Amino acid sequence: MVRVLPWIVRTLAAAALGLSAFLWWSSATTASAVGCDAFAGFDCDAALGSPWAKLGGVPVAAGGTLCYAAALVGSVLAWRRGGAASLGWRLLELTAPLAVGAGVWFTAVQAAALDSFCFYCLATHACGLAMAVAVLLWRRAASAGGGEAPVVVSPFAAMASGPATETDAPPSLGVPTLVGLLGVIALAGGQTLLAAPAVSEYDANLTDQFVFTAASADASAEASPRSPEPTTEDPSEPAAQPEPESTPSSTPSSTKAKRRSGGSRLAAFLNGKLRVDAYEQAVLGSPDAPHLVVEMMDYACPHCREFHDKLTKALERFDGQIAVLVMPVPGEIACNKHVRKARKQSLGACFAAKLSMAVSDLDPEEFEAFHAWMLHDDTIPNRTRSLIEARRHVDGDELSAALRDTEGALGARIKNYVELAAAIGKQGRFGLPAQILGDRVVAGPSESVDALCKLWAEAFGLETPTATIPF
């Protein structure tokens, strides 16, 4: 057993090195981790796309690559004699606690903060832990044997200084061990105190054109978020049905504004690559507001649920100057071809998106209250509760007919939103909720209402509003 321990260390270090390099490349290039979807229950993209995947803007996998490269070099040098052997043992003494500590830290982060696991990350940590155990056993055996080394059984032995069969005993543990432990503390502390911002901003230079207007329905099914018939009928309904205005809602009245009968308001985003008619979208506020924001969200997304409260308060502060066009992007495999495996937490997202769009089509003024209800709990409401609530806001028979979606308008609309999100995601690290402010994309939830207000004010050249202090 003693003879094979050095080769076990080298093999595990080499495996961890290869995995770390692959994760470094995936994290740096925003590419999906190829093959991770083959393992049920794992979500590598969620881990690699999170703020925990970087420290100071640098992928943590880069540190792992350097750590395991040093361990591999150390495992080769420790087999030799003299100063080279001493250096090799010192490298192993440094990297072993780093590998164990980092593995424990990142596994805990995946379990507690991300609620999802990266297969390649766990495989790397497993190799690191096994390597550290093998290093400990090798060190103990080398110390007990008075310096005897395992007999060389590899053709690569000639690459060393000769086919020596003994090496110097490993030096006593010292500064490298302490440095390794301090490195783990620095990693955990640095990620906790200096975490990368959850929000990323970038210009999305799309190549495809996305036109979400009724006028484009006949020209292209992909550019048709909904059929034109409801567009001419729905805007007049709020005047004939005043009761919904008093329906309990978490949305402030300052963002409620009557829509112009038969109105239309064309708007362009992302250097003209995204064109929409605000009157044909689900809107928080008035489609005639001076400034428009596009929000891409998912009813099954925890961050989207938390962000909605901030967004609502920010709209209230701007008092009608800004409106938000809501575009659901379900993360459920049933209606999102870019999702490669089913996730339990995303179940029901497709139906929730379809239901909310149906409510918006039937009575645009009622969408805001229903949207707030859909997001007020910690988890997505089930289908039965959602339907019951939706019938409080729109006619039940009309809702049933809309959900049948015989012409496929609702399905096509959601598909368009999904494709838009996929196209934007190719431009940079993308996550929900995401906002489109003119030609820029802001992915991730703002940390506070004040931060969101500042973001909007800078984007539209407005004065940043402050919270109203009640007396």
**Predicted confidence (pLDDT) per residue in 124-161, tens digit:** 999 999 999 999 999 999 888 654 444 433 434 433 44
463 CB-contact burial (10 Å; exposed 0-12 / middle 13-18 / buried 19+): exposed
The percentage of residues in the chain with a pLDDT greater than 70, rounded to a whole number, is 81
In a domain, 470, yes or no: no
Quick one: which H or E segment has residue 25?
Answer: helix 5-29
Q: In angstroms, how far is CA 426 from the centroid of its own chain?
A: 13
Instruction: Tell me the pLDDT tens digit for each residue of 252-269.
Output: 434 444 678 889 999 999
Q: How far is CA 184 from CA 53, 89, 102, 157, 335, in A?
A: 15, 19, 6, 34, 42
Say whether both 174 and 259 belong to one domain: no
In a domain, 172, yes or no: yes
Residue with tokens 């497709």: 350
In a domain, 293, yes or no: yes
Q: Where a domain ends, among 127, 161, 196?
A: 196
What average pLDDT does range 114-129 have in this prediction? 91
Whichever domain contains 331, its CATH number is 3.40.30.10
- pLDDT at residue 309 is higher than 70: yes
Residue with tokens 């009245």: 253
In a domain, 38, yes or no: yes
CA–CA dist 29, 153 (Å, integer) = 40
- pLDDT at residue 31 is higher than 70: no
Say whether both 147 and 252 belong to one domain: no
SS (H, E, C) 259-272: CCCCCCCEEEECCC
Name the pTM for this structure.
0.67
- Residue 469's pLDDT is 54
Whichever domain contains 20, its CATH number is 1.20.1440.130
CA–CA dist 148, 181 (Å, integer) = 29
DSSP string spanning 394-434? Answer: S-HHHHHHHHH-TT-HHHHHHHHHHHHHHHHHTTS---SSE
CA–CA dist 133, 172 (Å, integer) = 17
In a domain, 114, yes or no: yes
- The angle subtended at Cα 161 by Cα 159 and Cα 166, nearest 5°, is 115
Say whether both 291 and 149 belong to one domain: no
Strand stretches in 301-378, DSSP E: 322-328
Q: Where a domain ends, among 135, 169, 196?
A: 196
Say whether both 173 and 283 belong to one domain: no
- Residue 461's pLDDT is 96
- Residue 386's pLDDT is 98
Say whether both 238 and 154 belong to one domain: no
- Ramachandran angles phi, psi of 432, nearest 5°: -95, 145
* Lowest model confidence (mean pLDDT) among 123-127, 221-225, 369-373: 221-225
In a domain, 371, yes or no: yes
Residue with tokens 């100071």: 56
CA–CA dist 343, 363 (Å, integer) = 32
Say whether both 273 and 345 belong to one domain: yes
- Residue 148's pLDDT is 46
- Residue 468's pLDDT is 62
Residue with tokens 């009608």: 320
Say whether both 447 and 300 belong to one domain: yes
Instruction: Name the packing angle between helices 60-77 and 175-193 (round to 10°).
Output: 170
Residue with tokens 């034109």: 228
Provide the domain count of the chain.
2
Confidence of residue 238 (pLDDT cuts 50, 70, 90): very low
Say whether both 126 and 44 belong to one domain: yes
Q: Where a domain ends, among 146, 180, 196?
A: 196
Q: How far is CA 469 from CA 181, 317, 325, 462, in A?
A: 49, 12, 28, 21
Single-letter amino acid code for the residue at 118: C
Say whether both 396 and 282 belong to one domain: yes
Q: Which two tokens stand for residue 458?
A: 């800078």
SS (H, E, C) 45-76: HHHHCCHHHEECCEEHHHHHHHHHHHHHHHHH
Instruction: Tell me the pLDDT tens digit for each residue of 402-456.
Output: 999 999 999 999 999 999 999 998 887 788 999 999 999 999 899 899 999 999 9
Report the chain's mean pLDDT, rounded to a whole number: 84
In a domain, 469, yes or no: no
Instruction: Tell me the pLDDT tens digit for each residue of 41-77.
Output: 677 777 887 778 888 878 999 999 999 999 999 999 9
Domain range for 178? 5-196
In a domain, 444, yes or no: yes
Picking from 265, 217, 221, 219, the residue whose alpha carbon sits closest to that of residue 364 is: 265
Say whether both 182 and 309 belong to one domain: no
Say whether both 176 and 277 belong to one domain: no
Say whether both 253 and 354 belong to one domain: yes
